[in-house]
A and B are shown apart, each in its own frame.
Chain A
Amino acid sequence: MADAARYPSKLEEEVVALFGQLRVPVLRYLFSLRIPVPDAEEIAQEVFLALFQHLRQGKPRTNLQGWVFRVAHNLALKQRIRIRRHSEHFSNLPSLSEIPGEIAPGPEEKMEAIELQQSLLAVVRALPEQDQCCLSLRAEGLRYREIAGVLGISLGSVANSLERSLARLTRAGGY
């Protein structure tokens, strides 16, 4: 830890490696919070620059993935406040349903699978925001304790939220 603080170039390489590993999951999480692509990319930059400073100061290295998502989550909320100031209603932002998608025509089975996936995404979009956050963070591989840390909620709330969401998804999927 101390070595890394004395040799920033090594630290830079370490942060770049973490950036390579976690950038896409962080961006996906930010998109799921309806942060527009350019803003999400800028938030990702801020997160990893903050991580660089965090490690440079010799601060704890425990659970850096959770740390990264927590900082990303908080920056996303601040960014949304800024966005809301510029648009009267948050609903003016593109929702995931409005992000243009390309569904290539294919065999019937493929189309059915795509329809199923679209219906699952519609269910997710209708969930309360906290449930969407829990589901997205879990999908990015965070454990329940890490999700609780990112969102500032209890472990039980995470378990209940995921149970609720999965029950709805299972019903929608007809399983």
Chain B
Amino acid sequence: MHLSDQDLLMAVDGELSPRRKLEVSAHLDACWSCRERMHSLENTIGEFVRARNRELNKEVPSAPGPQALLRARMAEASQTTAPRFRFAPAAGIFACVLAAVVLFFATSASADGPKPRAGLTPGETLPITVDEVCSRPDAEVVTANIPEETRRKVFSEYGIRGRANNFEVDYLITPDLGGAPTLRNLWPQPYGPHWNAHVKDRLEQRLHQLVCDGKVDLPTAQHDIATDWIGAYKKYFHTDKPLAE
């Protein structure tokens, strides 16, 4: 039984577990065939790195100018913005409570409906092509699969404690449109009668369809849903209110 390509690659990259590393090493000691495959792999990596560096290094501008620019920008930033304050404990508790209240209203009681905070959830995407987006079935995204630890982090970032049942942790940009499963793309969407998760699901399905029909390009769909999903709903459904089921 020979080693798999992945075992060989992970051995070359030092990514094997200690136990597996010993097993692979013992096999390589005994097996000329696998040793030869491993040398081929290392040769390929060497050639690729040489080719890549040769191609890309010639595009790199010289360093002094950019370095001086960075120094100037840091100096400017030092003068214009103060570092984070270090609160006394009591003031810190007060600030946390205040922030939690503000954040609660920011996500649940906005006059125009619930929206995420751009600073916490700007939306994040994975590199994906339209073909890949459209090869996926237009299935409903199951947010129940988001790990509990991730949910807790989202609630923690938004300062939500003890009222988690009032919210669904939802993707801002749905994975069906290339949304990433990262904190920057997750937000606590409050359950509510009007602009709720079901309404947003319908927007996501609509955008998916429009992208795959070639009527809206993928970056525009991602941008519109990330910056103002309610505005996007109004825009793509031509309505000011959520449509009935």
Q: Which residues of A contact B (CB under 8 A)?
A: 5, 8, 12, 15-16, 19-20, 23-24, 27-28, 31-33, 37, 41, 44-45, 48-49, 52-53, 56-58, 74, 77, 80-81, 84-85, 96, 99, 101-102, 116-118, 120-121, 124, 128-130, 133, 135-136, 138-139, 143-144, 151-153, 159-160, 162-163, 166-167, 169-170, 173, 175
- Which residue from chain A places its CB closest to the CB of B79 in the assembled complex? A8
Q: Is the CB of B47 within 8 A of A130?
A: no
Which of the residues A101, A128, A152 comes within 8 Å of B58, measured between beta carbons? A101
Q: Is the CB of B51 within 8 A of A45?
A: no
Among B24-32, B111-119, B122-130, B161-169, the stretch that binds chain A is B122-130
Q: Is the CB of A53 within 8 A of B77?
A: yes
Q: Is the CB of B44 within 8 A of A166?
A: yes
- The range of chain B's interface size is 35 or more
Q: Which residues from B are CB-within-8-Å of A74?
A: 124, 184
A-B contact pairs, 6 of them (CB 8 A): A16-B71, A77-B127, A84-B219, A85-B219, A117-B55, A175-B41
Q: Which residues from A are CB-within-8-Å of B184?
A: 74
Q: Does B120 contact A (CB under 8 A)?
A: no
Q: For the complex formed, measure the closest distance between the CB of B74 and the CB atoms of chain A, giving whole angstroms.
A: 5
- Which residue from chain B places its CB closest to the CB of A117 in the assembled complex? B51
Q: Is the CB of B47 within 8 A of A120?
A: yes
Q: Is the CB of B61 within 8 A of A8?
A: no
- A31 and B52 CA atoms in complex are apart in Å by 11
B43-65 residues at the A interface, CB under 8 angstroms: 43-45, 47-61, 63
Which of the residues B57, B63, B84, B132 comes within 8 Å of A20, measured between beta carbons? B63
Q: Knowing that A74-B184, A129-B127, A163-B9 touch, tell me 20 more A-B residue pairs with CB under 8 angstroms.
A: A8-B74, A12-B78, A15-B70, A19-B70, A23-B63, A27-B60, A31-B59, A32-B52, A57-B84, A77-B124, A85-B220, A99-B55, A120-B48, A124-B52, A129-B129, A143-B13, A159-B6, A170-B40, A170-B44, A175-B43
